[in-house]
């Protein structure tokens, strides 16, 4: 079954004792609350972790308008930007403003210089969300609505524990998709005298 907003909302409200739904039309109060929670919580949940399925690397567009002092160049952040992970090349003389622009002190780059790119968290289409994350997010919505809808503090506590467990599984699944070596150069480590021997010895 394809992952849709309706499917996630249906599973969330089912955890609260509501009957499953197949459409968001003619929604009752609980369904309406779950839909609003979906839209309200998803950007925050995506920003809380470095989810690889919601990560992009993209060149930045240099803007022609002059930035305020002391900044010397300004770049447009991509549409759907939620959180910065890395800037390439790695510099420290930058800052983000209005969650839409990146300012630097390096000046306008020349044709020979390396263009700026960023690795960032974005808002993916619902259909692109992986299975473990969708299960976790259904629990997030249910947990958010639990005290107002479940009317049982003990069940709200149970949902909170289950939500934490589902997060752990989703995060672990993400970690298994990562390489077991660093993709970032660490000069301090790279310059250390490390032997070329591979193995446990013995």
What's the pLDDT at 150? 54
For residues 108 and 64, the answer to whether their CB atoms sit within 8 Å is no
Take residue 127 and report the two structure tokens written for it: 């259909």
For residues 75 and 102, the answer to whether their CB atoms sit within 8 Å is yes
Whether pLDDT at 177 is above 70: no
Mean pLDDT of 120-134: 93
Mean pLDDT of 142-160: 73
For the stretch 63-78, pLDDT in tens is 988 888 889 889 999 9
Positive or negative: CA dihedral 91, 92, 96, 101: negative
User: Is residue 39 classed exposed, middle or buried when 0-12, 13-18 and 19+ CB atoms within 10 A define those classes?
Assistant: exposed
DSSP-derived 3-state class of residue 115: coil
Whether pLDDT at 32 is above 50: yes
What's the pLDDT at 99? 84
What's the pLDDT at 57? 93
What's the pLDDT at 173? 64
Length, in residues, of the chain:
202
Angle between helices 153-176 and 131-149 (to 10 degrees): 160
* Residue of 163, 128, 169 lying closest to 143 (CA atoms): 163
Whether pLDDT at 185 is above 70: no
What's the pLDDT at 184? 45
The phi, psi pair for 48, rounded to 5°, reads: -80, -15
For residues 137 and 129, the answer to whether their CB atoms sit within 8 Å is yes
What's the pLDDT at 191? 44
């Amino acid at each position: 079954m394809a992952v849709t907003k309706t499917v996630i909302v249906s599973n969330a409200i089912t955890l609260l004792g509501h009957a499953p739904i197949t459409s968001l039309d003619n929604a009752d109060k609980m369904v309406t609350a779950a839909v609003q929670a979906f839209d309200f919580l998803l950007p925050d949940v995506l920003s809380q972790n470095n989810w690889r399925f919601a990560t992009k690397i993209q060149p930045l567009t240099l803007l022609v308008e002059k930035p305020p002092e002391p900044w010397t160049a300004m770049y447009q952040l991509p549409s759907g930007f939620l959180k910065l992970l890395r800037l390439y090349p790695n510099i420290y003389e930058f800052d983000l403003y209005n969650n839409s622009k990146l300012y630097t002190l390096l000046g306008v780059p020349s044709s020979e210089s390396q263009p700026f790119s960023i690795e960032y968290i974005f808002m993916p289409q619902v259909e692109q969300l992986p299975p473990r994350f969708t299960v976790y997010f259904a629990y997030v919505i249910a947990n958010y609505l639990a005290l107002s809808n479940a009317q049982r503090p003990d069940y709200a506590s149970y949902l909170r524990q289950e939500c934490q467990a589902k997060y752990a599984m989703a995060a672990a699944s993400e970690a298994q998709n990562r390489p077991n070596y660093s993709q970032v150069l660490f000069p301090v480590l790279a310059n250390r005298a490390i032997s070329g021997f591979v193995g446990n010895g013995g």
